[in-house]
Copies of this chain bind each other. A is one copy, B any other.
C-alpha cells in the first residue's frame, strides 16, 4: 500500500474578518508541516470557545498580535 498523501490541516474555512483582541481567549500558530503544507492560525474566542481560522497573510494578524501585547496592563483593574 503506497503511503497516501493525505493533508490534515486543521482549518477548512479561513475567515478574513477581524477579531476583537478582548474577545480572544487564545491564538494558536501552527507552522507548515508534513501533515499540512500551510501555516495555520487559529483563534479561540472567549464567549463560546469557538475556534476561527485566520488568514496568516492578513495584516490583521500583526495588528491583533500587537493589540494583545498592549492589553497587558489594561486588563488588571
Which residues of A line the B interface, CB within 8 A? 21, 24-34, 37-39, 56, 65, 68-69, 71-76
Give every chain B residue within 8 A of A32 (Cβ-Cβ): 71-76
Each complex incorporates copies of this chain amounting to 2
Collect the chain B residues with CB atoms within 8 Å of residue A68's CB. Answer: 29, 31, 39
Assess the A21–B26 pair: CB atoms within 8 A: no
Main secondary structure of the interface of A (DSSP, over half): mixed
With beta carbons under 8 angstroms apart, the residue of B25, B56, B69 that contacts A39 is: B69
Known contacts A56-B69, A71-B39; is A25 also within 8 Å of B30 by CB?
Answer: yes
**A75-B24 CB under 8 A given contacts A39-B69, A65-B65, A68-B39:** no
